[in-house]
Amino acid sequence: MAEFPKSIKNLIDAFERLPGIGPKGATRLVFYLLNTPKAYVNDLSQALVKMKEETKICQKCFSVSEQNICSICNNDHRNHRQICVVERAIDVMAIENIGEFKGVYHVLGGVINPLDHIGPDDLKIDELVNRVRTICEEELKKMGEESNNCYIVEVILATNPTMEGEATALHIKKRLEGLNIKISRIGSGLPIGADLEYADQATLCRALDGRRDL
Amino acid sequence: MAEFPKSIKNLIDAFERLPGIGPKGATRLVFYLLNTPKAYVNDLSQALVKMKEETKICQKCFSVSEQNICSICNNDHRNHRQICVVERAIDVMAIENIGEFKGVYHVLGGVINPLDHIGPDDLKIDELVNRVRTICEEELKKMGEESNNCYIVEVILATNPTMEGEATALHIKKRLEGLNIKISRIGSGLPIGADLEYADQATLCRALDGRRDL
């Protein structure tokens, strides 16, 4: 039985380690690349290295950025007193894509997951608490007595509506208690366009709990 | 609306051009790579360039190889008088994987497809005819009179059982007429493990036509 040439085998192995790409998919990709212009393969190769070299973690919200502070945290037109807490940087982009949210973000870097040995200390929860506390203190100084009647910061917990995401949201809620802030959780229920008939029980249950007055 | 940092956007664009990877899949891959060790990303980047630099087309069978003549064509233990004609180099590997076929290959580089403006001249059909003719002439010289009673070469047409693959197989059969060779077509019908109930009409029809005596 003949084998693939070594350079092809190496690339198949490298592709196979990507999520969602199995041995067959990796082989198909490599043989597709064999027939593409060299320029594209070089572009892809360089884009990989550059992505790794040029991206940093924003020191404020822990999203990805090419500067030390990302373009969202650096934007004075955004509401820095409304913080959307998400699991991963990719979730920031998902929310940015709707173009509705005008606040800022905080990327946790995952969720609490005892099975994977990920505890609260492995996530950017302390950083979130400190960040919110600092904003509260700064705003209090500015506002003085007025501040008693309104919330200073809104924290929107937008972790995924999974078991781990819910647990992480509850944990963060507890950690933020005592601060003069509003804490909310993103709505969950049936997605738009869905069919009640095919919805799972947990989603239906959540949809009923989360019913809104019309 | 914030956008992805440029280096991330470039890599997403590069991934999106791969077959079977859409915008969402490309984004997921890039954000996965953001969290992997730099060494792996560098490996992938280098494997891409190396694959393109180090692979050549075998001058005999037009499969991929790291030498001018591939390891299969260079193997004296294989039957060089049994030529399996396939569309692409990846098909060579599919047949090699079963470990049953002991002959050699001929990669056409595609199929005749008028809609895509691919005619017989764009494929390695002339090369196949010349290759078979050369083998026939050489063997005839060696064998002398004996050769009248047996086929010298067997050509197995293993293009895909699609409209284009069938047309290409028929075209090649015509081109090889007149030579003292056996021409066969790979069997088609129901795949092993399939269910008659779910088979399409064309496959069922082919399965009936291709029935074998037991």
CATH of the domain at A39: 1.10.8.420
Contacts of A13 in chain B (CB under 8 A): 47
Residue B32 lies in a domain: yes
Residue A72 lies in a domain: no
Range of the domain at A26: 6-54
Answer yes or no: do B1 and A49 touch at CB < 8 A.
no
Question: Are A33 and A93 in the same domain?
Answer: no
Residue A46 sits at the chain B interface (C-beta within 8 Å): yes
Q: What angle do CA B163, B164, B165 make, to 5 degrees?
A: 95
User: Could you identify the residue written with the tokens 């494929």?
Assistant: B123
Parallel, antiparallel, or unpaired for β B56-57 and B64-65? antiparallel
**A41-92 pLDDT tens trace:** 999 999 999 998 999 899 999 999 988 999 999 999 999 999 999 999 989 9
The backbone torsions φ and ψ at residue B89, rounded to the nearest 5 degrees and listed phi first, read -60, -30
Residue carrying structure tokens 């069919």: A195
B94 and B46 within one domain: no
The number of domains in chain A is 2
> Does residue A129 belong to any structural domain of this protein?
yes
Task: Count the helix, strand and coil residues of chain B and give each as a percent rounded to the nearest 5.
Answer: 50, 15, 35
pLDDT tens digits, one per residue of A168-202? 999 999 999 888 889 998 888 888 888 888 888 88
Contacts of A32 in chain B (CB under 8 A): 18-19
Share of chain B above pLDDT 90, in %: 57
List, in order, residues 6 or more apart from B179 with CB less than 8 Å away: B132, B133, B136, B153
Please tell me whether residues B83 and B49 are part of one structural domain. Answer: no
One domain, residues A50 and A81:
no
- Partners of residue A29 in chain B, C-beta under 8 Å: 18-20
- ipTM of the shown complex: 0.77
Inter-chain Cβ pairs, chain A and chain B, closer than 8 A = 166
Q: Which of B4, B28, B42 sits opposite A49 (nearest CB)?
A: B42
* Domain shared by A49 and A83, yes or no: no
Q: Rounded mean pLDDT of B36-52?
A: 92
Q: Is residue A202 included in any domain, yes or no?
A: no
| Statement: the pTM of the whole predicted model exceeds 0.80 | no
- Residue A47 has its nearest CB partner, among B10, B40, B66, at B10
Looking at residue A109, its pLDDT comes to 93
Question: Dihedrals φ, ψ of B194, to 5°?
Answer: -80, 170
Q: Give pLDDT, residue A145.
A: 63
Whether A44 and B15 have beta carbons less than 8 Å apart is answered as yes
Determine the distance from the C-alpha atom of residue B111 to the mean position of all C-alpha atoms in its chain, rounded to a whole number. Answer: 10
Judge if B110 and B178 occupy the same domain. yes
pLDDT bucket at B44, cuts 50 / 70 / 90: very high
Domain membership of residue A68 (yes or no) is: no
Residue B127 is assigned to a structural domain of this protein? yes
B49–A43 CB contact, under 8 Å: no
Q: Do A161 and A93 share a structural domain?
A: yes
A146 versus B143: the higher-pLDDT residue is: B143
CA-nearest residue to A101 within chain B is: B1
* Lowest mean pLDDT across A203-207, B28-32, B135-139: A203-207
Backbone phi, psi, residue A22, to 5°: -95, -175
Q: Among B160, B137, B70, B18, which residue's Cα sits nearest to residue A26?
A: B18
Contact B38 A52 (CB under 8 A): yes
pLDDT number for residue B148: 62
Does the pLDDT at position B187 exceed 80? yes
- The pLDDT of A200-205, averaged and rounded, is 84
- Does residue B65 sit within a domain? no
Task: Calculate mean pLDDT across residues A150-178.
Answer: 91
Write the pLDDT tens digit of every residue in A2-41.
678 889 999 999 999 999 999 999 999 999 998 899 999 9
Residue A124 predicted with pLDDT over 60: yes
Mean pLDDT of chain A: 89
B114 and B21 together in one domain: no
